[in-house]
Amino acid sequence: RNGESHTLGHGDATPVTGGGFLIPYAIMLIVEGLPLFYLELTLGQLMRKGSIGAWKAVNPYLVGVGVGSMVISFLVCVYYNAIVSWSLWYLFHSFENPLPWANCPANSNNTGIVEECAKSSATEYFWYRETLNISPTINDSGSLHWGLILCLILSWLIVYLCIIRGTESTGKVVYVTACFPYVVLIIFLIRGVTLHGAGNGLVYMFTPKVEQLMDPKSWIDAATQIFFSLGLGFGSLIAFASYNQKNNNCEKQAVIIALINSLTSVFASVVTFAIYGFKATYNYERCLERMRLLLTNTFDLEETAVNTETLDKWMSFLNATQSDKFATIASQIETCDLQSHLDTAAEGTGLSFIVFTEAIVNMPGPSQIWSILYFLMLLMLGIGSMLGNTAGVITPLSDIKIISKYLPREVMIGIVCLVACLIGLVFNIGSGNYWFSIFNDYAATLALLVIVLIEVVGICYIYGIRRFRRDIEKMIGHKPNWYWVTTWVFISPILIICLVIFYIVDYSMTGTLTYTAWDSTEGRSVKLEYPPHALAVIGLLVAVSTACVPLAAILTFIKKKFKREKY
């Protein structure tokens, strides 16, 4: 802030999920993401403070917005670094030959493969049993996974070393964490589009789905993805922008970075769906081959009699002419449908650690090389995101005089990392993945919508849009045009209010909240209801950040009233 400039890198450019999701994503970017991204950059550059100091300068009663953003960033740091630790775990195992998730392990007496793996798949078994050692329910805590604990400690040590020297070292690290994934994505793009079935995935990605467009949850998901991808509401944008030169053209910067980020998300989606199309096509053709062999062997047909094109006709014919014999294999008959394989796309950790690991195993070429590249990319993306998240915590804490006066920066960062690491240990017990899902689903989604709504209302209607426009003119030489003003004053707040209402109504209509548990006896996922103590944690996660706004306003009012009475 003392004349020091800082280059803003793009956020966690997560891939969009295709189909009907592309349209809500593009609309949300134009009417919500881009305007709010510009607003936060401008606020940080204008006030030259972290989120707490910046909102206190806007209005003392809005200091809770900065506190809420800091709390959200901290909560995201706690669970997001678990993903980094899982990436490290898989990266270390990627040097094994063959890959440990390529085949099912033998059972204890070496008479066959482990039953849980036989009922699921090798990649699912390695994820749920070898990595997570997952318990059947959230009530069963299970035991600590010491291998993952060491990976978690290592991941926090990496983050600490990256941010300890401030924005100078952070900026240098960001160049690596931002550029390396592009290199890997280009490599995977070249390999992915040449894979058999890649076109099926790309067609699936770019085919609009009307039912998704009519579903409010698609719009909520699009808004949430924009928030996470651009870093809106976390306070990290305000923190990084506070290091910009006073006359830096933040408008141009906002447009360029937001567009690069979103185009990167689409680019990553093309790579993702090309490889996912290969995986879906591979599984579909394996299903057809299993059915072909089943009919050929059961009914003693010639080897070339049944093929993929005539499979359905043969099934109908054999069922009609030899119904008794056909009934003996009825339980083994599978419905082979490419669309159903494409529709079963996993999300989040399932996409990264189950779907892609299976695709890597089946990809032509050395699986170890593909695996090392992929998990190195995940590691770089994770560390890059963690740098932004930790900045949303460290910078506002540094602006608090009491903390900066008595705690050296290195000690303060160390305490933050240590506390987050200790809380993160909960993700390394048997029920850890269920607690991870709670943090992932509820720590930031609704809270971010509320925080960003208060941000835009605070700037436009409390600080004053005319005053804000004059401040921008002093910094960059011209006032923001009608697009920025219209979206700030009308479109963005109305849209966010609608999203908040949709979010609340959607969860109200679902009744009891459920989570996805792993049934090891069946080798599949099942839906279970959250117990009361888990619901209490969900309520706490939603309230702990949003409650900062009214509580801080009340404390400010009491403090001002006390000062008036004193003097």
Is residue 229 marked as binding? Answer: yes
- Per-position b or e across 114-133, b if 16+ CB within 10 A of its CB: bebbebbbbbbbbbbbbbbb
State how far Cα 186 lies from the chain centre: 21
Cα gap 169→158, rounded to integer Å: 13
Q: Is the separation of the CB atoms in 333 and 292 below 8 Å?
A: no
Angle between helices 250-298 and 465-476 (to 10 degrees): 100
State the Cα angle at 545 between 69 and 412, rounded to 5°: 60
Angle between helices 367-399 and 409-424 (to 10 degrees): 130
Residue with tokens 């006390």: 562
Strands 524-529 and 514-519: antiparallel
Cα gap 28→213, rounded to integer Å: 13
Centre a 10 Å sphere on the Cβ of residue 208 and count the other Cβ atoms it contains.
Answer: 12
User: For 435-446, what is the HEC assignment?
Assistant: HHHHHHHHCCHH
Closest listed residue to residue 516, CA positions, set 43, 74, 134: 134
Cα gap 210→215, rounded to integer Å: 9
Is residue 200 marked as binding? Answer: no
φ, ψ at 101 (rounded to 5°): -100, 15
Is residue 261 marked as binding? Answer: yes
Extract the annotated binding site for Na(+): 229, 261, 381, 385
Extract the annotated binding site: 229, 261, 381, 385
